[in-house]
Chains A and B, each alone.
Chain A
Amino acid sequence: DIVMTQSPDSLAVSLGERATINCKSSQSVLYSSSSKNYLAWYQQRPGQPPKLLIYWASTREFGVPDRFSGSGSGTDFTLTISSLQAEDVAVYYCQQYYNIPITFGPGTKVDIK
C-alpha cells in the first residue's frame, strides 16, 4: 500500500495569512505516460463530508476559491491557502489514487490564530 504522510499535524494561522500543508507519498504517484500526478486534496469542515479541492495535484475543482492551490510532483506535494479565511477552518486530507487501495493522509487541522 502507498503510505501518505502529512505535516504538520495541525497549524494555526492568522486571518489573511498563508497556510501551507505538506503531503508525502511512500512511492511516486506520477504516471509517466500521462505526466499526471494521481494526488487529490480534500477539505473536511466539522460535521461535514469531505469536499474535493484539488485533483491531479494542481487542478482546482470548479467553484473552489483561487486562494487554494496545489503543487508538487512525484512524492512531495503542497496545498497552499494564500489568505486564510474563517471558513477555511477544517481538516485537510491528501489522497493518492495511483494504486489500489486508494489511501489518504492522516489529515492536517487548520485553525485561526
Chain B
Amino acid sequence: QGQVVQSGAEVKKPGASVKVSCKASGYTFTSYGISWVRQAPGQGLEWMGWIATYTGHTKYTQRFQGRVTMTTDTSTSTAYMELRSLRSDDTAVYYCARAPASDEYSYMDVWGKGTTVTVSS
C-alpha cells in the first residue's frame, strides 16, 4: 500500500523559509506524483501544488507562485516542499500525499500525518 512520513514540526519567524520533507516507502516512488495540501487551524483543505517524481515537473497554485518550490530526491524517495517569505497566515499543517495519476489531475490516496508549521515573531 505504501506510506509517506513527514518531517517534524517547525517554528519560524515571519520572513523566514521552511522546508518540509516527505519520505516514501512501500511503493515505487517514481510511479506516483506527490501533492502538497495545507490546512490552517480550524479551516479546510488547500491544495498547494504537485510534483511528478519521475521528471520533476511541477504545478503550483497561483497564490503560491514565486514563494513555493517542490522538489524530489529519487535516490532517497523523498519529496520536499519549501515555502519562503513566511507570514503569520502560513501557520498551518502541511500534508504531502501520494497522487496516483500520471499527471497533476489526481486524487490523493496515501497521506502523511502532517507537519505543523508555526509562523510567529
Contacts and interface: CB of A to CB of B under 8 A. Distances in A.
Interface stretch (A15-23, A71-79, A80-88, A99-107): A99-107
A41 B112 CA distance: 17
A95 B106 CA distance: 10
Interface string B31-43: 0000101000000
A68 interface: no
Interface in B40-75: 44-47, 50, 59, 61-62
Nearest to A56: B107
Interface in A29-62: 38, 40, 42, 48-52, 55, 61
Contacts of A61: 109
State the main secondary structure of chain A at its contact with B.
Answer: loop
Interface residues on A, range: 20 to 34
B44 A107 contact: yes
A49 B44 contact: no
Contacts of A40: 107-108
Given A49-B113, A50-B95, A97 B107 contact: yes
Nearest to A106: B44
A101 B95 contact: no
Contacts of B59: 100
Given A49-B113, A49-B114, A50-B95, A104 B107 contact: no
A91 to B, nearest CB: 8
B107 A101 contact: no
24 contacts: A40-B107, A49-B112, A49-B113, A50-B97, A50-B111, A52-B108, A52-B109, A52-B111, A55-B109, A95-B45, A97-B101, A97-B105, A97-B106, A99-B105, A100-B104, A101-B47, A101-B62, A102-B35, A102-B50, A102-B104, A103-B47, A104-B44, A105-B44, A106-B44
